[in-house]
Structure 1
Amino acid sequence: METTFNVPGRNEVSAANQAIFDTLIKAIGFVPNLYANFAYSGDALSAFLTIQGAKTSLTIKKKRSLTRS
């Protein structure tokens, strides 16, 4: 059985999340589906990105590999 997730586009999220989408597109060229799905919530995407950018013992290479999986 196949599960389908509807990933919101820029026009389907709040103005605050649209601004984050714009920043992501400028920085990496696209909005990852995981991030877009967090944007269904008014605060989840911003909170996730804050946590993701927090100080950690993981190397940048390891963090990137975790984001891509």
Structure 2
Amino acid sequence: MSANLSVSLDGTRCKSYGICVSVMPDVFDTPPGSPTAVLLRDTVDADEREDLEEAARGCPAQAIALNSGPKP
């Protein structure tokens, strides 16, 4: 069984570039009128790690963090 990964989004850093939404639309969203992206869920399956890492690397504001294991 694969362990989940926790993901966090720093709303003070996010500038709504939308890269995270394009890579993982089931995890991130930018609601109309919102100045930042939002998390739709704060854990992802381990098999989604590659996509999550791509979203984090692609974020110009470096607002995405991921950790192994459940969210504390």
For normalisation by structure 2, the TM-score amounts to 0.27
TM-score of the aligned structures, taking structure 1 as reference length: 0.27
User: Does 1 or 2 have the higher relative contact order (CA < 8 Å, sep 6+)?
Assistant: 2
The structure in which a higher percent of residues are helix is: 1
